[in-house]
Structure 1
Amino acid sequence: MAGADGDVLRADLHEVLGAVVDDVSEHDAGFHMSKNLQSLQALYDGDANCYLHALQLALVGPLKHDGRGRSSQDIERLLRIVSAVSYAPGDFARFVRFALRGCEAEDRNVRFHCTQLTGHLLGHATDISDELWEDVAKIILQRAKDKFPTIRAASVVALQLLQTLSVDDVEAISTAVLRLAVTDPSKEVRVAATEKVAVLNTSIGDLLIRVRDVSPDVRATVFKVLATVDTAAILSPSDRVHMLDQGMNDRDESVVSACQDMVLAWLRRVNGSPVELLSQLTIEKAPAVCSSLCRWLLKTHATDLSTPNIKDKALFGSALSVADAFFWKEQCQYYQSIKHDEMLELLLPTISSYCDLLRHLHTSLADAVDEAEKDQVLVVGQYVLQLGVALDFQDEVGRRQLIHLLRTFFQSIAFESKWLHDAVMLLAMICRSTEFEFVQYMTEITSDLYDQMQEMDSMSLETRTELTERLDAVDAQLEDESLSPQAYDALSAEALALEKQLEEPKTLQWLRCLELAAKLLQFTRQNLRNATIAGVLHMILPAIDSDIPALREKGLEGLGLYCLLDRHMAAKHAIVFWRVLNADDEDGDSKHVCIQVLLDFFTAFKQFEVLPVVEDDEVVTSRVILDGLATYFCVDQRELDEWDLPTQTLVVRGFIKLFLLGRIQDLETLQHLLELYFHPFLKEMVISDEHGFCSETLQMLTVFYHAADCALISSASHHVLSRALYGVSSVPFAEAAPYLLQLLQHPRRDGSCDINHHNKVAIWVCVEMLALHEVTNVIARASKKQFLHQWWTLLQNLEWSVDAPANDDETEDDDDAPIARSRKRDDVKVEAGVSAHDAPPTDDAPPTDDAPPTDDVLLYILLDEVCTLVPENAKLKAKMAAAFGESFKCELTDAIQTWMVNAVGTRKDVLSKGVYKRGMQYRAAPKREANDSVTEEEELGSDAIESDESDGESRKSRKTRTKASAAPTRATTARQSKSAAAAKLKASISSDEASAIEIEDDSSAIEIEDDEEDEEEETKDAEEKKTPVKMEATDDGDENASMGDDDDDASMSDNE
């Protein structure tokens, strides 16, 4: 471009571009934007070649701009307008390649703006050549992996447009967008990718898991995206329930609002019919979620609903769908809760009509020809019975009529057992004014049934045994995969006939009697002082001795409910449930009942003690039962079968209740619960379900840890981390350490807990390091050095604090005091709340359990003692100087000195034998070199042992500790007086830093971090690295000793 014409075009172009940058189009509805675009189009039409050359030169400056503040919007508007010009195909390709060259530049600002420019250009592309498409796809996919999140977010727009321009390699493009939406560590990138991801059958599963994202912005974006597309063919009913469950109960209001907008979009697609909306959900599997949805719609959008007259449909004999019955029930219960009598009068039938409806459903169930029809009638009947609690029982005639009908149903074996719970609850509601009437009705019915049952003939034991063996044989034959369809059908019919023969009327009558007795005990508010209720025991005990598993199960359930009404009865009969639980030939369902009943005993009664009984040469006590139940945690099992998993969930739920109610404070049990969170089988279950997070045990534990006694968590953490590090358990130390430290770093709670638990952790980490250093003849020196390094790394990442750091200026204002003053230490020790029989075994107990009250002197002495083990201790000493103060003085009292010697010695003995010794040797075995096969005792000689024996005496000579220079240090130490051989061991800790295993927060962590590195923070960090620390030099070589707090973006691969 040369000559006057070129200069004029360049000047005109600069003028237009300047106007674009200065324009604030939002104030004029885009008028100036359209005007500027027309001006650029005119310049391009006048001289296309000169225009493109001048435009590229003019864009160099904006592309290099850092785009801070308002200028970011100006540059983005500039790129959007220059991309909107209608270019010829050749000029368009030339402009795109100009943008692609910038996408590969070293300057991050150029890469960012050129990625934006590429996305805008693709948005205006009508067609694109295969060669250019391949180049664009290759470079944009590279930018999707850029280390800066802003560039990755900008690449999402271009990737989304590439999916629509060609069908070639569209799978790779869609995969890249989905990967950014699911796994990117930056919140902004995940939001941008979620907005652009294509909602398909292949991507919906990952999007559904994102509704559990750590960022509320990402969660809200998922709901907004799904509200804009028709998901009728993509989302299954269970998917919709999962989304409603997560969205409607989210703790962030923006996410709840986005979920509600999605529900309204679904409602509009079904023409405002709530029944049609409910028919797209699995109501039977998630009634609570569907109930919450209905009540929200009735409360906020009742006028927008198109509701049919379900009452007339039901009373005229038409078949009700599950959605019809459920919404009818929810309408009645909602308007009853707000006391809207006018709506209730319109919705509710009379009691007489309601009785006719129940008879009709009972008859329809008997006449059902297939399983699907029968299942539908069963569910509809449940909701109709639940609807009955909203009826007006002031009509005495109708009330008596309904009571008579229910009594008739209860006395009939043909009445469905699944309806029994709701029917008994309805009867209790009718008799709520006088509970005596309810108890009388129920005892009369159960007594009549029991008397009739005793008069019936029983099947002989020989006949029952023969039929049972034949049924087992048929079931075994049905498992043969080589069976023909005809043979399989014949065997199935034979199995059904055998089952029918085994269901003798006497057994069914007894089961109904036990079911009603259990419901009476469940709904009554009386205790065993009521002779009528106490009399049901004679119906229950014979069932427990029956040889029929179903009768034993119902008998155990009834006995458990009976004992819950009286503490002494529970203590007397607890041994019955314990015996059944330990019986090898007992049915699994009966064992579940026993586990639940025993846990209920400990939950309902404070300090529950069973009557001691000798079983297998062992006295059964409450402690024995609790220990036995804790074995069902299955912490040491690698595989869990179909019985272990629900049993584990049942036991975990029970023990969580016991801890939260303060019934137990057992450290050993809590240690097992902490280890269970990292169980490999449960971790696999997180990704095995269609929506993820399918392990109920993991979900309960996650909530429990934050609600449990943090002092107990602190005491149990030592056991968990030491077992993990030394290979005693399968818990990954790199995952457990950051999680437990974060768990113990809770905010200050008014009136609850106001202590820094990291102080206690720091104390036992110091003791652990000192004890491990003195362990000999167990593992090689290199392996010990690796263990010490990991404890040292953990110690450096602790955020301990001091109650009242020393201040050189006594008159200084309180406002200038260090922040470390803000935390006070709790005087109440966790051991005061742990009874003697709840203490863990001696060889597993943390060494600090018998410590005097934790104070600054003890913390300082231990930290200073550990610093002598590791030469690279400048950072820790600088932190000590800042926290304790330069004039801090401490006195080594006899009590502290004695405690240190005893604590280190006790822990040394624990590590030198038993499971810890075997674990350390196993963990260290694969890493031994040929020259490291000898133990430390053989390598160092007897001098090290002698120096260890004299260590206690050398400590006694130290009485005071004063500060020396910048960091408070001691004039003499016991470690400095060790022999040359021991000094060699200390020096070796730093000589092999690269071989040590570090604690890092891996990118596959449970939660996605939201840290984003911008240029301002990057510059600030660089300046801080150049500025030396005033307190001490920081060249301690521990830059890599982190707990995963580094910027996630630093872990991303660079652009080239």
Structure 2
Amino acid sequence: MAIDMANVDQNTTKSKRQMAIKSAVAAAFTELQSYVMKNEFFQNMDEQNSLEKNLRVYYDMLTHYVSGPVHNKLSQRLESIKTKDATKYTCDLTNYLWKATERVILSIYLFKNPNVSAYDILIQTNEADKSTSEPDVATKWIFLLACFFGHVLNESASVCAQNGIDFGKISSFFAVLDKVAIAASSTENKQLRVLCMDLLRLTLIRVKLNSVPMKYELDENLTIHIIERCRDKVAMVRSHSVTALGYLQGISKMQDDIRDEMIRLANTDPSRHVRMTALDALVMTKDVFELVRNRLRDTDEEVRQTMYQSLCSTTFLITDLPLKERLFILDQGLQDHNTRVIEACENVILKKWLPDCDSDTIKVLRALDIELRPKTAEKVAQLLVRNDANEQRIKQSKGTNPGISSPGIIFLESLRTGNTSAITVEHAYYWRHECEHYSSEMIVNDDGTNECNQRREEHKRLLIPTILDYIEILERLCQADNTNNISAGNLDSSIRPFIALQALHVGHFLDLHDEFGKNKLLVLLRNLLCDFRVDSTLICDLVDLSSRVVGSDSGDRFLQNVMEIIADLCDQRNKQSQENVENEENEFLNEERAQAALRFEELERKLEDVEIESIEFSHIQNEMLGLETLLQDPCILIWLRTLEIIVQMLRIPGLDYLKSMLTEVRSIIVPAIESDVLAIREQGMLCFGLLALLDRHSASQYLGIFWHAIRSEVEDRDIKIICIKSVFDIMLCYPGLKPQYDADLKVNKLDSDSTTTNLDELDINSNTSNFLLELAQYIYHEDPEVQELVVEGFAKLAVFGRVRMVGILAALLDVYFSNTTASSDGTVTESRVPQILAVFFEQLGSRKHTQSTMRSSECLLSFLEEAVGYWIRRWINQNGLKVSNSSNTRQFSGVDPTTLMKFAMHHLDHTDKDKVGSDQKQCAHQNRIGINITIDIIALYSVMGLNSNPTQSSKQVNGSLKELYRCLAVSGGSCVEERSAVLFCGLLREVIKHSTNLVSSIPSFARVVDLERALSESLGCVEELLEADIHKTDLAWAHEQIIERTQQLNDQVQKSHSNHSNKAKKRTNRRATILSEPDSDVSMDGGTSESDCDNTEDTPLSQRRTGSMRKSKDDAKIKIQVNSAGSFQDSDGSLLEYLDSDQSSDDQSA
């Protein structure tokens, strides 16, 4: 009851306030009319534009405004002048409305006096009102002016004519609008600029809706001023400006300027609201899409969603876009982590692309080339199937009761009858996903009836064949000979493997209660696996279907069947080997194969110069396929098939292998890794990788094999990639494992203290650390795929607690902030490394997985803290003092230390983390990083004092000092650890005392001073704390570190001076030699430069790479492989220089 009374009182108060405002408006109108009649400025007005009618229009507008939805907003503005005295409140309100109305009326008739500008009136009215500040008066004036313009332009033609206003004279309002825009947009008051652009936006909306014509001069002026406001520093001003430009697109003559500015804002504006507004306002043509396509990968999810919404209203068809662009749109949208972006992408398919294809799902799939991107095509097919099922359900609910028909049902009927017109790749793909959809759990209607389920069961019965029909279909599709082909071989042989693959997927939805049909299907699957003429791409699905038919509870029976198949294939291989020996004596066959080999090589060379989409390319490829069949060795094919079956068997989880089975499998795998055939070695290494995951002893035994292959200079790139994957899988399953091999690892070992303190608990010994350090060389590898594998592998090892090596984490930080997407030839590649590391560092700093994935109870962020400190010291040694040699040391590729520090501080801040435990809330990573930086700064000052050539050393040190001061200013401080905070504060004071005039002038030094002052205030009695014994002990330790660090840096500077002197001597000697030659025509300027001298001695010759291109029936696209001797050797220097023993063990004692 009390609540109801409160609502009544609130409504009554609101009603009284509305009546008070309406009364004030009426009083203001009367007072305004009296004032205008006495003012000479409004005398002798045209009868057609009588003042009475114009004032009546304005009065109606104002009354509508204060009683409409904007009432609450106006009431809030007037709340500041409301008092307990109702009479005074009404009086103040009347005065306020009178002043605002006067300014609006003056603006309306401004065009009558061209000598007076809008800016002059604005200044005069501001000066006349001494009680109110300039921004408030101008803001209210513009605000009410916008309301008036909106009211006038919203009126229909008949109403305007009735009130004495016609659209022919609305250009006068545009003139006022232009002058107001010029005056108000140049002010420094951001609120005034916002309202000014809001006025333009609202006015142009009405102009476009009512098709109000504008003169070219006004159009050009407005466009120029709006584009100028698009560069405003206030995001809301830019947002209103880009909206106004959007409404000028259809009526302005400056279309190119408007489009270019909107594209610029959509791509480069830092505000997500501005980018969203620009994308929403753009007319999305094909050319515009090519310029803003990267917004599909925008960092903000709402911008990505807006981009997909804009694609729904495009003016071009799906077929107008190249295939690459269609797949790019779907890849980015359907794989997005945000559900709203996924829904927006699905709407593009259903509401734009499907109608473009005449609502034909098969045409949509055909436009996407489902064989090129299987994952994307799978999601599209599932979406289309769900949409088709929903449409049929809607039709049924409306009582239309349509017949059951779908592309999948038509395809199955064509398979039975042999009608090849409907047997296409798209039909088969849709059939598979339709079977998967209707085989899922039944859905009951809301009214409780089972009518929908009955129709669903009927649809399922028509889609999925019986087991005997399925055996007949599968036998026709998979048989190698063409005698049993559908319609006597009318089906294209190039699409038969794909259709057979879809049929094998449908086999998982069969009704297996028929034991006779089940046994018959097992016999067929076994025969297909033993027949080496059956396409090898079907092996994986044949083995999976065999496992499904046998059943999950009959693992022993499945293993027995697979081992029998392997034994049969081994017998075929032995028999085929004997036939090969007999055929070698046949001179006719040998001569025919020799000619075929020569012809194949000739066609392969010719294929490299032919365009892929040409007819000649298809003819050459078909001829090569025929020659390839003739040249194939059946013995090699059988061996390869055996290994592929073993791989698929080992991938099935939950099987209990007998020792005799594994022994037999090893006897087949061991010869495979020593084969001269690349494909055999690849499958052999893959088998070893899967076998190694079965037990720890096998993993330790095979790890040396993988490491030997990775380090080999002659091994193929694909095999090395398989070995890298296997190594990381083994390290994840069995932490602390080391390879068993005899070769010594020649590495620069990290200090034992450079890692965190729980190495024994993680069972990582020194040999394992050395092994991981050598593997970490490939973090900087030139091949993007190799780099992605290694970075992802180490990220997984770190997240799951398998390795905690500070140097490796520092290398991952360096790669994340360096430009690693550019290859050696200058081409830019799309690398997944930044995305992988972004997820990794976010997971590392979340601390949610502390108890589940890490056996150590200490804060995980200390791992990142140590890595940041180590990275900074390596940066000083390599980049800061410029002492490294580019031929043997990996340089930091333009990484900004300040940027890296900001990133690290964001993740090291505990304030935004989830509260896991009280021990983790008392971490002050900022203090420890700051202590290390201050030690480095003081050490650098000491180096400048020790050096005999202070001028030369200061040039090297000052650059490092500036960067370190920036990093120190970013690091901040925390008082949650009082001991480290006191030490940090004391070292900050020493840094400030050591500062030079050059450093003191930089802005970051002032921030360091502010940091010291804020830390001292937070600590309270800082002087007493600094005099404590424990602080003196800590300070003594810090000075020991400073002395040690000074010696290290001084050695680096001396080394730099020595290298510089040697280079100068070489240049002097070379110039002297050139001048001493009497007949020499070479001038001194034409001598070899310093860089040339350095390269001749220090830089090795770049390795030569050769590319081989192979087109075959298994590849849908060209694959360029880089094969070279030593392609995995780091020619630019190894990570071991980056992970050297420079890291001090005392970093962690702080």
TM-score normalised by structure 1 residue count? 0.71
User: Are the aligned partners of 2:408 and 2:434 in contact in 1 as well (CA < 8 Å)?
Assistant: no
* Pick aligned residue for 1:729 from 892, 898, 913: 892
CA distance in 1, matches of 2:517, 2:714: 50
* Pick aligned residue for 2:435 from 332, 346, 367: 332
User: Are the aligned partners of 1:653 and 1:700 in contact in 2 as well (CA < 8 Å)?
Assistant: yes
For 1:905, the aligned partner's letter is I
1:208-357 correspondence runs (5 A): 208-229=293-314, 232-233=317-318, 239-240=325-326, 242-247=328-333, 250=336, 252=338, 254-256=340-342, 258-259=344-345, 261-266=347-352, 269=355, 275=362, 277-292=364-379, 302-304=389-391, 308=406, 310-317=408-415, 318=419, 319-338=422-441, 343=456, 345-346=460-461, 347-357=463-473
Q: Structure 1 residue 579: deviation in Å?
A: 2.6
| Closer/same/farther in 2, CA of residues 48 and 908 from structure 1, 3 Å limit | closer
| Closer/same/farther in 2, CA of residues 466 and 663 from structure 1, 3 Å limit | farther
For 1:430, the aligned partner's letter is V
SS in 1 for 2:287: coil
User: Are the aligned partners of 2:610 and 2:617 in contact in 1 as well (CA < 8 Å)?
Assistant: no
| Closer/same/farther in 2, CA of residues 310 and 72 from structure 1, 3 Å limit | farther
Residue of structure 2 in register with 1:593 after alignment: 722
SS in 2 for 1:203: helix
CA distance in 2, matches of 1:444, 1:876: 75
Residue of structure 1 in register with 2:85 after alignment: none
CA distance in 2, matches of 1:715, 1:394: 62
Does residue 906 (structure 1) correspond to residue 1080 (structure 2)? The answer is no
CA distance in 2, matches of 1:626, 1:882: 46
CA distance in 2, matches of 1:391, 1:71: 76
Does residue 766 (structure 1) correspond to residue 934 (structure 2)? The answer is yes
For 1:678, the aligned partner's letter is F
| Closer/same/farther in 2, CA of residues 154 and 751 from structure 1, 3 Å limit | closer
Q: Structure 1 residue 571: deviation in Å?
A: 1.8
Stretch deviating more after TM superposition (394-403 or 771-780): 771-780
Does residue 653 (structure 1) correspond to residue 778 (structure 2)? The answer is no
For 2:966, the aligned partner's letter is T
1:347-426 correspondence runs (5 A): 347-362=463-478, 374=493, 376-426=495-545
Q: Deviations over 1:842-900 (max 9, x none)?
A: xxxxxxxxxxxx73333333333333334655412321133212466242436423421
| Closer/same/farther in 2, CA of residues 268 and 78 from structure 1, 3 Å limit | farther
Q: Deviations over 1:678-715 (max 9, x none)?
A: 23232799x988xxx93222211111111234322211
For 1:768, the aligned partner's letter is D
SS in 1 for 2:740: coil
Residue of structure 2 in register with 1:581 after alignment: 710
Q: Structure 1 residue 308: deviation in Å?
A: 0.8
* Pick aligned residue for 1:18 from 62, 70, 88: 62
Residue of structure 2 in register with 1:443 after alignment: 563
Unaligned runs of 5+ in 1: 28-42, 806-853, 926-1056
Residue of structure 2 in register with 1:781 after alignment: 954
User: Are the aligned partners of 1:273 and 1:305 in contact in 2 as well (CA < 8 Å)?
Assistant: no
CA distance in 1, matches of 2:370, 2:193: 51
* Pick aligned residue for 2:840 from 683, 690, 704: 704
User: Are the aligned partners of 1:250 and 1:256 in contact in 2 as well (CA < 8 Å)?
Assistant: yes
Q: Structure 1 residue 2: deviation in Å?
A: 3.2
| Closer/same/farther in 2, CA of residues 351 and 425 from structure 1, 3 Å limit | same
Does residue 868 (structure 1) correspond to residue 993 (structure 2)? The answer is yes
Relative contact order, higher structure (CA 8 A, sep 6+):
1
Q: Deviations over 1:760-800 (max 9, x none)?
A: 22222222212222223385325533422322222222242
| Closer/same/farther in 2, CA of residues 705 and 591 from structure 1, 3 Å limit | same
Q: Structure 1 residue 84: deviation in Å?
A: 4.5
1:135-174 correspondence runs (5 A): 135-166=221-252, 169-174=254-259
* Pick aligned residue for 2:983 from 851, 858, 861: 858
User: Are the aligned partners of 1:20 and 1:77 in contact in 2 as well (CA < 8 Å)?
Assistant: no
CA distance in 2, matches of 1:372, 1:590: 36
For 2:916, the aligned partner's letter is G
Stretch deviating more after TM superposition (907-916 or 880-889): 907-916
* Pick aligned residue for 2:774 from 628, 632, 656: 628
Q: Structure 1 residue 674: deviation in Å?
A: 1.3
Q: Structure 1 residue 561: deviation in Å?
A: 1.9
Residue of structure 2 in register with 1:453 after alignment: 573
* Pick aligned residue for 1:548 from 677, 692, 705: 677
CA distance in 2, matches of 1:903, 1:453: 69
User: Are the aligned partners of 2:924 and 2:977 in contact in 1 as well (CA < 8 Å)?
Assistant: no
Q: Structure 1 residue 434: deviation in Å?
A: 0.5
Residue of structure 1 in register with 2:160 after alignment: none
Q: Structure 1 residue 227: deviation in Å?
A: 2.7
User: Are the aligned partners of 2:312 and 2:351 in contact in 1 as well (CA < 8 Å)?
Assistant: yes
Residue of structure 2 in register with 1:750 after alignment: 915
SS in 2 for 1:775: helix
User: Are the aligned partners of 2:933 and 2:968 in contact in 1 as well (CA < 8 Å)?
Assistant: yes
Q: Structure 1 residue 474: deviation in Å?
A: 6.3
| Closer/same/farther in 2, CA of residues 666 and 531 from structure 1, 3 Å limit | same
Residue of structure 2 in register with 1:81 after alignment: 151
CA distance in 2, matches of 1:84, 1:550: 75
Q: Deviations over 1:116-150 (max 9, x none)?
A: 44442452555444444333332222122222222
TM-score normalised by structure 2 residue count? 0.65
| Closer/same/farther in 2, CA of residues 446 and 740 from structure 1, 3 Å limit | same
Stretch deviating more after TM superposition (265-274 or 388-397): 265-274
| Closer/same/farther in 2, CA of residues 905 and 526 from structure 1, 3 Å limit | farther
For 2:255, the aligned partner's letter is V
Q: Deviations over 1:38-88 (max 9, x none)?
A: xxxxx99x9997699999799968998669999998765443234446532
Residue of structure 1 in register with 2:79 after alignment: none
User: Are the aligned partners of 1:79 and 1:116 in contact in 2 as well (CA < 8 Å)?
Assistant: no
Unaligned runs of 5+ in 2: 1-40, 72-104, 127-132, 156-165, 394-404, 444-452, 750-765, 845-859, 880-890, 1001-1005, 1064-1150
Residue of structure 2 in register with 1:973 after alignment: none
CA distance in 1, matches of 2:139, 2:174: 32
User: Are the aligned partners of 2:779 and 2:791 in contact in 1 as well (CA < 8 Å)?
Assistant: yes
CA distance in 1, matches of 2:475, 2:268: 56
| Closer/same/farther in 2, CA of residues 15 and 64 from structure 1, 3 Å limit | farther
The CA RMSD over aligned residues, in Å, is 4.7
* Pick aligned residue for 1:790 from 958, 963, 983: 963
Residue of structure 2 in register with 1:984 after alignment: none
Residue of structure 1 in register with 2:905 after alignment: 741
Q: Deviations over 1:330-352 (max 9, x none)?
A: 34334544267864643422111
CA distance in 2, matches of 1:126, 1:475: 67
Residue of structure 2 in register with 1:682 after alignment: 821
CA distance in 1, matches of 2:651, 2:111: 88
* Pick aligned residue for 2:632 from 503, 522, 527: 503
User: Are the aligned partners of 1:64 and 1:107 in contact in 2 as well (CA < 8 Å)?
Assistant: no
Q: Structure 1 residue 440: deviation in Å?
A: 0.9
For 2:1025, the aligned partner's letter is K
CA distance in 1, matches of 2:471, 2:359: 32
SS in 2 for 1:662: coil
User: Are the aligned partners of 1:315 and 1:353 in contact in 2 as well (CA < 8 Å)?
Assistant: no
| Closer/same/farther in 2, CA of residues 361 and 912 from structure 1, 3 Å limit | farther
Number of equivalent positions:
850
CA distance in 2, matches of 1:103, 1:56: 10
CA distance in 2, matches of 1:758, 1:286: 46
* Pick aligned residue for 1:115 from 197, 208, 226: 197
Q: Structure 1 residue 406: deviation in Å?
A: 0.8
For 2:427, the aligned partner's letter is D
CA distance in 2, matches of 1:435, 1:447: 18
Residue of structure 1 in register with 2:75 after alignment: none
| Closer/same/farther in 2, CA of residues 250 and 901 from structure 1, 3 Å limit | same
* Percent identity between the two aligned chains: 23
